Amino acid sequence: MLKIMNENDNFEELISEGLVLVDFFAEWCGPCKMLVPNLEELAKEYSIVKVNVDEFEELARKYAIMSIPALYLFKNGEVIDKKIGYQELDELQEWLKSKI
């Protein structure tokens, strides 16, 4: 599942159950755009939530997002790991498998 967060969503609910990969991104970010096909492929097996840092500045501050793309991995609502910058699909698949 790939979910782009909007103003009607509750972030805490979106990350509350199981393993959820959160992509903090911006529309103007080149590496963020390059990451989209990899996230779409991962979404076939994993829950992914995309959060636009320009629209959700309070979440970006809460998680101290300084560089994007920022990939935060949540398990049952808690951050368990993170990666910053563009990641190849195979690297992301190995990373997620190691966290299940």
d(C-alpha 46, C-alpha 43), whole Å: 5
Specify burial of residue 32 (Cβ count, 10 A radius: 0-12, 13-18, 19+): buried
Choice among 21, 29, 42, 49 that is catalytic: 29
Would residue 50 show up in a list of annotated catalytic residues for this protein?
A: no
Q: Which two tokens stand for residue 87?
A: 């990641």
Choice among 21, 32, 35, 51 that is catalytic: 32
Would residue 32 show up in a list of annotated catalytic residues for this protein?
A: yes
Catalytic residue numbers? 29, 32
